[in-house]
Amino acid sequence: MASIFSQIESPDGSMRDFIIKALDKLTVEQGMPPSSDSWVMSNIVEPGIQSCAIDEHGKPVSQETFLVEFKKIADCVAQRLKEQPVIVAHSENTFDGSGIKRLLSNKFELDKTMTAALENVPKDRNGKLSKDYLRVAVDAVAASAGLPPIGAVAQMDVVVSEAFKMVNADDGKLVKEDEFKKLLTEILGSIMLQLEGNPIAISSNSVVHEPLASPSSTLLQPSS
């Protein structure tokens, strides 16, 4: 816990602020469901904190006072988890370019996907499209190409940005529809090649709010 305290950046924060941030840093493996989930916050964390009065000590939070108060709150949160066990589903996903490869190898599917993506891209009176909308188009074909939405995975955003640089996607030029589709295909190809060389693996834990029977789900109760 001392290492977690050193990671918390809250120079003027209260003891309560420190404790909430510390709970957020605990993992499922440590017996703590994601406190970023609103249900966990309102039904586990907040009641746990309220049931154990926090002593603010009337001065800046020190590591020593933090450790004392955190242990007290952690015990209360553990009690809440005993009363209301939380199911957490663990998911893993690897972006290796295979989804893009499948799409690019199927001309019919590729044409259909691109046509649908371009429906939301405005054209000027000459039927040309601005390269500024390539990001919108890539986002529109992402699901069909086995990619996450832009902005959802930081590592993927870096890969996508590199692909955009390759075609000067941000120069704002107007191009014909065929050229726009060609650029979109080149961007997808660049992303595919990058991912084939360096696949990106993402794992996440999410709270299940409905009954779930799955080998990848964990019923969280604190260990005694």
Domain boundaries, the chain: 2-89+206-220, 97-198
The overall average pLDDT reported for the chain is 87
User: Could you give the CA distance from residue 140 to residue 149 in angstroms, rounded to a whole number?
Assistant: 8
Q: Which two tokens stand for residue 110?
A: 């590729």
Determine what percent of the chain is predicted with pLDDT higher than 90.
Answer: 50
pLDDT attached to residue 1: 63
What average pLDDT does range 180-203 have in this prediction? 96
Q: Does the pLDDT at position 58 exceed 70?
A: no
Q: Does the pLDDT at position 22 exceed 70?
A: yes
pLDDT in tens, 94-152: 999 999 999 999 999 999 999 999 998 999 999 999 999 999 999 999 999 999 999 98
Lowest mean pLDDT among 120-124, 166-170, 174-178: 166-170
pTM of the model: 0.61
